[in-house]
Amino acid sequence: MDAQRLKASFDHVAEQGDAVALFFYSDLFVRNPHLRDMFPIGMSGQRDKLLRALGHIVSQVDDLPGLVPFLQQLGRDHRKFGIVAEHYPHVGASLLATLRHFCGSSWTEDVEADWNAAYSLVAKVMLEAADENALSSPPWWNGQVIAVERRRFDICVLRVQPDRPLPYLPGQSVALEVPSRLRHWRYYSMANAPRPDHTVDFHVRLVDGGPVSPVLVRGTETGDRVRMGAPIGTLTLDEASGRDVLLVAGSTGLAPLKSILEQISRRSVPPRVHLFFGARTTDGLYDLEHLAKLAGEFPWLTVVPAVSDESGGHGFSALLRSGHAAGDGEVEHGNLSDVVARHGPWDGHDAYVCGPSGMVGHTVEQLMRLGVPRDRIRLETFADAQR
């Protein structure tokens, strides 16, 4: 397999944009109509995922140590869709037909051999990981919503009781599916460390046009059912580190960091922790009341709230009267990454960052500029192709 030749052919195909995924799924369903029911009715999001996944795989095709863990996770994660070994040859045939079509005259026997070899490797790694995972885990967990808190018009906190223990690490996420949006799986992070009763909390923000979040935020009630996929993600605490910890959360990106914070609180000697929680407005600081109470309870914890679209200077006590926060201190003004930077330096810390992609990118840049090594900044790095 010639990795550079493979990448060059994919670059040529990827220039065709959405037409590539549209051709692939059309070919797949025409050849195999029985597979159509495995996919959501609306396929636009699914087509985006296909191109992102292919792009990620091809970009790392010459780096197997980096690619294999991604493929293994992809194989485990695909179990929730009902994908089994017999489906892989069908997918491979339609993938080659798509590549052949869009490569045109540049498609050669050598290029076809490259893609056959690459797909054989991908399928082998994914199937082996899925088969191994099936020995110890179900393809999904059934859950019942046992509590619903609507913190504002577009944010709610759900507590779910799984039908069996859901093993996960603080900071990880699971895909959720609701009965009214079958085959639409969307990832949400657990907002708590594992509990003896196995319940999990999710912080859900409504996304305009999203197929799942509007149902969860506006339509979910106690007693409703959901399905949860296997936990994934690498935004997890470095237990071997003795350094202090910096947590930077934008909006509902707070959820996995709150889970990590709870994990830290269970240590006999916790490190110093600074948690920055940002939103556009004070109303968006939907969990500040509880965070302020934790800061009052734990002397090693400092909570710094920030808003970008309002002037600063709002005290916690003023927010408490509005039902949003408790304690002393002030809400700072500015982009969250800038607020974090002016409280530095952070070069002696491990950093964990989660939230909107723009905020995450700017925060990583600021931290690296302030001397924090990139390998000590942890993000949600499970592939967007799975979301």
- What is the percent of the chain where pLDDT is above 70? 91
E strands, 257-297, in order: 273-279
338's tokens: 């800038």
> Do the beta carbons of residue 227 and residue 177 sit within 8 Å?
yes
Lowest mean pLDDT among 36-40, 210-214, 275-279, 294-298: 36-40
Residue 247 has pLDDT above 60, yes or no: yes
Residue 52 has pLDDT above 70, yes or no: yes
The per-residue pLDDT for 125 is 94
> Do the beta carbons of residue 327 and residue 292 sit within 8 Å?
yes
The per-residue pLDDT for 330 is 82
Residue 218 has pLDDT above 80, yes or no: yes
The per-residue pLDDT for 311 is 67
Residue 9 has pLDDT above 60, yes or no: yes
The per-residue pLDDT for 83 is 84
Amino acid symbol at 77: D
Element (DSSP H or E) covering residue 345? none
The per-residue pLDDT for 313 is 53
The per-residue pLDDT for 168 is 96
- Provide DSSP, 140-190: -EEEEEEEEEEEETTEEEEEEEESS-----TT-EEEEE-GGGTT--EEEEB
Mean pLDDT of 145-160: 96
**Average confidence score pLDDT of the chain:** 89
Cα distance between residue 82 and residue 333, in whole Å: 48
The per-residue pLDDT for 325 is 38
Q: Could you read off the pLDDT of 359-387 as tens digits, one per residue?
A: 999 999 999 999 999 999 999 864 433 33
Distances (CA, A) of 238 to 42, 290, 350: 39, 25, 8
Say what the pTM is: 0.82
> Do the beta carbons of residue 361 and residue 387 sit within 8 Å?
no
Q: 211: helix, coil or strand?
A: coil
Q: Could you read off the pLDDT of 169-193 as tens digits, one per residue?
A: 999 999 999 998 888 889 999 999 9
Mean pLDDT of 305-332: 60
- For the chain, domains (ranges, CATH) are 3-134 (1.10.490.10), 141-228 (2.40.30.10), 244-386 (3.40.50.80)
Mean pLDDT of 336-362: 94
Can you tell me which residue has the tokens 């798509």? Answer: 98
Residue 117 has pLDDT above 80, yes or no: yes
Cα distance between residue 189 and residue 233, in whole Å: 9
Residue 38 has pLDDT above 90, yes or no: no
Amino acid symbol at 319: L
Per-residue confidence band for 318, with pLDDT thresholds at 50, 70 and 90? very low
Amino acid symbol at 342: R
- What is the percent of the chain where pLDDT is above 90? 67
Mean pLDDT of 327-353: 88
> Do the beta carbons of residue 305 and residue 277 sit within 8 Å?
yes
Mean pLDDT of 119-145: 93
Residue 317 has pLDDT above 50, yes or no: no
Amino acid symbol at 143: G
Residue 303 has pLDDT above 70, yes or no: yes
Cα distance between residue 249 and residue 98, in whole Å: 41
**φ/ψ bin of 233: left (φ > 0), alpha (ψ from -120 to 50), beta (otherwise):** left
Beta bridge partners, 160, equal 145, 200
